[in-house]
Structure 1
Amino acid sequence: MDEKFLETFVRRTVDTADRTLKKYAFTPSGKKRPERKLLSKLSYNVESFLRDGENRVLVLYGLRGVGKTTMLAQIYFDLLSRVPRERLVYLSLDRLYPLGISLNDFIMAYERLIGERAEEFSAPTFLFIDEAHYDRNFGTAVKALHDSANNLMIIVTGSSSLPLKLDPDLTRRAKKLRAPPLTFTEYLLLKKGVHIPEKLSDALKDAFLSCNFTGIESILGGVLLKFSEKDVEDYLVHGSLPVYLNSENPLEDAYEILRKIIEVDLRHEGLSETTREKALGLLLLMASGESLTYDTITSTLGMSRDAVAKLLEKLEDLEVIFPVRAYGSIGKVARKTPKYKFLASIFRSAVLYEFGLFERDSKTLGMLLEDVAAFYLHILAREKRLRLHYDAQKGGADFILSGGKMGIVVEVGWGKKGTKQVLRTMKKTGLDCGVVVHNGKLENRNGVWFVPRELFLLML
């Protein structure tokens, strides 16, 4: 690579970063874009570095489209008033990749331009590396910088599989932040400016985990008047990714995100073109809501079981989908095909829309609500170190969240629901907590809590 060309490229990259990032941090009218809750954690780590040099490598990873670049842009502009522009280096590796420029090449050219080696930086310097998964060797370059530079903070973003590609030693030392899809409370904040008090969300979460909603209604105040039933539906259909904020057709744009995941990210994950071509068919089978087995998938798509397993594994690594495994012995779990849920419910909507199958009816909304309920339980399972399963027996409940001395059987429905499925699974598992998420009032029937879907959605 010609050094003069490379240095010109680096200089232009640094000089134009604010123009590159402006559209992510500000609206066309110049107003600051709303901030996700996760941004406060990013800001805390940045301030820690400026104060005492801690947290020098931060990895922000998650599903494509969750707003990682927007959060980088917001951090960039916050720092721009306090840190010289030449000390704020933003680069997206998807721009370097087609030019054949490695991250290491870029860093060495930046050192020449600033007149200092990384280990000698005389002032706090920030390196924002976006779309890191485009450079297979980025982990080596980041580790070398981390080991040598004392006045440098590196913030790396990439797909959900990014932590898997880090050097093991760096993985232990780096701060990792996972950017999930939007919860309903974030949707209300970003879309309508409606702030749900954190104390209320925490109280609802505690009530759910303790299986006791007594007294919850007394602390709601007027919060339920701040949004409508349509807001709930809109969130389920297209509100789980920030793309809805500025899109005329969020489902078309969400499908474009999916297409990039399939054509670009799966290729970087090493899947063959033949296997990638089957990915949309697989997602359509999942989006249709039919009960799937490995045999059904292999026969419908004309794929081997190994190829199906590999494709599912990579879609799971990229957090397009996630598995909810059967409850029971290890043998039963191994035999039964997991229930695969979309981490962002908008992807189910987008796939159905693309194939002309989307209807905003009770069946589709019910499937979307089950996706979101699974996503919420998935977050709780990670946060509380619990296990998430489903009851594979006929007529069993949708979900079982358990671990240690606690366990909750959960049934989710758009329309009317009874206690039959929950009680059957409670009896089978020996658990004494049952929750039905439904469209109705908060009440306890025969020891089972019926929780309005609005309250369930407000707990995260």
Structure 2
Amino acid sequence: MNNMEWKEYFQDRIKATPILAKGNTGNNIFKERAIMFRLSRFANDFLMGNTDSRLIVMYGLRGIGKSTILLQLYNRLTTGKLFREVDETKKVSPENIIYISIDQTLLQSIFQESKSPLLEAVKKFCEEIHGQTIEKLDKKIFVFIDEAQFDPNWAVAAKTIYDSTKNIFLIITGSSAMALHLNTDTARRAIKEPLFPLSFLEYNVIKNNIFPIQNTSDKLKRLVLQNDITTAPEINKSMQSILTEMKNKGKNFESELNEYITLGGLPNSLPSTKEITYRRLIDMINRIVNQDLPLVDNFESKTIPDIIRIVGSLASKPQGELSQNKLAQHLSIPVAKVKTILEALEKTQLIFSVKPFPDTKPVDGLSKQFKYYFMTPTLLSAIRFFNGKTIASPQEESNLWEHAVAGTLYKLCYTTGTIYNLFYDPTTKDSCVDFILQNPLSGEVIPIEVGLNKDNIQVKDAIERYKSRYGIVVSNFDEITIRDKIIKIPFWIFLYM
């Protein structure tokens, strides 16, 4: 593009972004995810002259809400409402904010010139709209880059922008595969913000406008990770408050919980009908396979059907570890190819694996396989729905519960400030628990059992085997109780973490 085309492009973007923001975020600025408060704090620090936190890399599964978060932050900046009160001194002119999606057709010609669309766009924005080079920029501007994974040089471009000026606040978003290309130099400068599917807390805030008592999620984490039993009465109080508010708003608790698990794991499915939601999710999975996986591995187009078949097999299998050999034999796909595909699917965060606890000797003397889970049970529900599994059995419900808890624990292990690793218990089926959290520094092991109508037998046995200080049972309890080293947590409140 020539300079005039760039200028027209930016002017169009500046005019279009407020419309996009209004259409995508609605009128209630505070029906937002927890990450918004961190981004607002970083933006506020930048406006106050603290430039340490001016490069944010936000990545996650497609449909996780990255674009919406950028537009919500745009709303906050242009209204001066970074926090609860409007601050006129923090109001940012729309001309000082640019929102660009790298997958836009107008930017594709830059690829042919072997240039970085991200870097070229930021350079031209400074020159054509603000009349200055990046290096001489004397005003604070905000640059929001979406779908950055389509620029193979995005990490180098981000580093170049960061090093050229302290007056650009840059947020770069993209698929989970993007994080694989975060080089060491850029990683040192950037704040990484991985995004995960909605927690039940976020679902209730966004859909039902129901807020828990402050710090409920943090107290749950302290109870689960640190055995801080002093938090139990406060969490129980928050539970009752949530249930009361649901009832007052005419919401059926069981229906809301079921809807969250089967339909509400991703923000782009709210609100919508089951069939529309599931069609969107299947379309999203197809885009991950066709667009994101080639960025992870050089799959040939003829491999795509095999990838889809493996995804379908993961959704249809019963609970338990997955034998790659058996899967390869069943689908008539080479074992090495199955392994490569599963690893690539993990990198997109469509699925994740849980490994067997390494300090346990397998009872059958054989090497144990990994267990695989979808990042949210909503994805599992969508695939099974289109595979004809429309009737929910107790076994199906238990499987969804296990996926929900697995996803919560996986997120917990990647949350800032936690150092735990997630495993499953590979001992005999009658005595094993579903999950094990281990602190790699202290070696402490926390056994966790999940399911409908669960008793204490398995977790009690695991506490003895692993010499644990305590264990956790997640089931359909009415409240949190603690007895004989065992913490019993209601399933739904566990999903508030």
TM-score by length of 2: 0.85
Do the aligned partners of 2:360 and 2:427 also contact (CA within 8 Å) in 1?
no
1:80-137 deviation digits (Å, cap 9, x = unpaired): 2422222211100111477323233333432431221111112111111001001111
- Distance verdict in 2 for CA 1:345–1:118, change over 3 Å: same
Q: Tell me if 1:225 matches 2:244.
A: yes
2:84 corresponds to which residue? none
Superposed counterparts of 1:181-200, under 5 Å: 181-200=197-216
1:57-85 deviation digits (Å, cap 9, x = unpaired): 11111111111111100111222242222
| Paired AA for residue 450 in structure 1 | K
Please list every run of 5 or more consecutive structure 2 residues that lacks an aligned counterpart in the other structure.
80-90, 111-116, 247-252
Rounded Cα–Cα distance in structure 2 between residues aligned with 1:111 and 1:454: 49
Do the aligned partners of 2:200 and 2:492 also contact (CA within 8 Å) in 1?
no
Rounded Cα–Cα distance in structure 1 between residues aligned with 2:329 and 2:99: 47
1:87 corresponds to which residue? 96
- Distance verdict in 2 for CA 1:17–1:449, change over 3 Å: closer
Rounded Cα–Cα distance in structure 2 between residues aligned with 1:195 and 1:32: 14
Rounded Cα–Cα distance in structure 2 between residues aligned with 1:190 and 1:334: 47
Report the secondary structure of 2:103's partner residue. helix
Q: 1:319 aligns with which of 349, 360, 367?
A: 349
How many angstroms does 1:304 deviate by? 2.1
Rounded Cα–Cα distance in structure 2 between residues aligned with 1:150 and 1:216: 45
Please list every run of 5 or more consecutive structure 1 residues that lacks an aligned counterpart in the other structure.
none
TM-score by length of 1: 0.91
Rounded Cα–Cα distance in structure 2 between residues aligned with 1:261 and 1:13: 27
Deviation larger for 300-309 or 141-150? 300-309
Deviation larger for 441-450 or 66-75? 441-450
How many angstroms does 1:366 deviate by? 1.3
Deviation >6 Å, runs of 4+: 330-334
Q: Tell me if 1:44 matches 2:82.
A: no
- Distance verdict in 2 for CA 1:400–1:120, change over 3 Å: same
Superposed counterparts of 1:444-455, under 5 Å: 447-455=485-493
- Distance verdict in 2 for CA 1:368–1:9, change over 3 Å: same
How many angstroms does 1:357 deviate by? 1.4
1:285 corresponds to which residue? 313
Superposed counterparts of 1:43-192, under 5 Å: 43-52=40-49, 53-81=51-79, 82-96=91-105, 99-101=108-110, 102-114=117-129, 115-192=131-208
Do the aligned partners of 2:220 and 2:231 also contact (CA within 8 Å) in 1?
no
How many angstroms does 1:420 deviate by? 3.2
Give the superposed CA RMSD.
2.5
1:421 corresponds to which residue? 458
How many angstroms does 1:425 deviate by? 3.1
How many residues are paired up? Answer: 455
Q: Tell me if 1:406 matches 2:444.
A: yes
Q: Identity over the aligned pairs, expressed in percent?
A: 28
How many angstroms does 1:205 deviate by? 2.8
Do the aligned partners of 2:220 and 2:235 also contact (CA within 8 Å) in 1?
no
| Paired AA for residue 459 in structure 2 | V
Do the aligned partners of 1:407 and 1:431 also contact (CA within 8 Å) in 2?
yes
Report the secondary structure of 2:48's partner residue. helix
Q: Tell me if 1:295 matches 2:325.
A: yes
1:173-229 deviation digits (Å, cap 9, x = unpaired): 111112111111111111111111233333333233344657834763332333412
2:21 corresponds to which residue? 21
- Distance verdict in 2 for CA 1:436–1:219, change over 3 Å: closer
- Distance verdict in 2 for CA 1:343–1:215, change over 3 Å: closer
How many angstroms does 1:331 deviate by? 9.2
Deviation larger for 101-110 or 443-452? 443-452
Deviation larger for 4-13 or 17-26? 4-13
Q: Tell me if 1:238 matches 2:263.
A: yes
| Paired AA for residue 404 in structure 2 | V
Rounded Cα–Cα distance in structure 2 between residues aligned with 1:305 and 1:232: 38
